[in-house]
Amino acid sequence: MMIRTLLTAAVVVVATGASAQEVTLRAVSAFQENTQFSKNFERFIQKVNAENKGVVQINYIGGPRAVPVFEQGNAIRTRVVDMANVAGAFYTNLMPEADAMKLFDKPMTAQRANGSWEFLNQLHQQKMNSWYLARQAHNVPFHIYLNKKIDKLDFTGLKLRSTPLYKDVVDSLGGTGVTTAPGEVYTALERGVVDGYGWPTQGIFDLGWDKVTKFRLEPSFYSAEVNVLVNMDAWKSLNDRQKKVLSDAAAWLEGLDAENVAINAAEKDRQAKAGIQAIDFGPAESKRFTETAYNAAWKTIISRAPENGPKLRQLAGN
């Protein structure tokens, strides 16, 4: 109720003259403010706001304190907010196909050229009542981080903090998944409620998880995806110039992913310095792990979304 009261009248249209109308969009992020997967979205907001006074502005409400992580999909669908920076893993309840986005690992320029963006945008319009403005975190894969040393690729007896995106990896290696929002990971580890967690290469220092993490399992898998969605009614209310401003800024935002290879290397270095050891069972086991991860994920997606799953797999090309 609080959220609704705070966020109704989501779009404020201020007439500033006969031809100029400034629109203000209200935005949230599923990741805490100023952490790794909010940072570029925040840069995007600053850029839009600095360059487009009198045209379009974004009012950043903040992270999951404003709207809880797993409710952000519904908030964008029903226009409690106009814009959200949110992983597909957080809205698979509304759009099972969103789980496939982690398997789209080509750069966004390629995904926009080969029809992937267009098809995923159609699905977002149908199921999320939203426009798929941008996708971030290309080139940032996921890992399983552990506090217990394992001597083979087997999670039997381990409880691992999860979201829908890690489920197939955790299940197929015999582990038990415990779904939590990122904000609950530290406490779950500290209290020994879980023995490890899924998370990308980047960002474990943001909330102090390095203090409660001992190992990082190799290889990494899939591709992180953090999407900027705009509620469809809010999108339709924009004029062509405002849409172009946001679309151009989205391309700029996606371009920031070029920084990720260097950031990944720096994060792994920093993890090593913090005493986090890599566990690696060599090329043959790594290959088996990767194949299991991809095959299990596609199998789940195709069974949950039989109409769209095969087309998604064909577009993803893996």
Contact residues: ligand 173, CB under 6 A: 37, 87, 89, 137, 163, 165, 182, 198-200, 224, 226
The minimum distance between CB 31 and ligand 173, in angstroms, equals 7
CA distances from 246 to 89, 191, 238 (A): 24, 43, 10
CA dist 227 and 43 (Å) reads 14
Structure-token pair, residue 286:
């790594």
User: Of 29 and 163, which CB lies nearer to ligand 173 in the complex structure?
Assistant: 163
The answer to whether 156 touches 175, Cβ cutoff 8 Å, is: yes
The pairing of strands 196-200 and 142-146 is antiparallel
CA dist 118 and 141 (Å) reads 23
The minimum distance between CB 182 and ligand 173, in angstroms, equals 5
User: Of 96 and 198, which CB lies nearer to ligand 173 in the complex structure?
Assistant: 198
Structure-token pair, residue 250:
């989205």
User: Of 182 and 309, which CB lies nearer to ligand 173 in the complex structure?
Assistant: 182
The minimum distance between CB 164 and ligand 173, in angstroms, equals 7
Structure-token pair, residue 198:
């899924």
CA dist 139 and 256 (Å) reads 11
The minimum distance between CB 87 and ligand 173, in angstroms, equals 4
User: Of 69 and 232, which CB lies nearer to ligand 173 in the complex structure?
Assistant: 69
The minimum distance between CB 256 and ligand 173, in angstroms, equals 15
User: Of 205 and 233, which CB lies nearer to ligand 173 in the complex structure?
Assistant: 205
Structure-token pair, residue 196:
């490890």
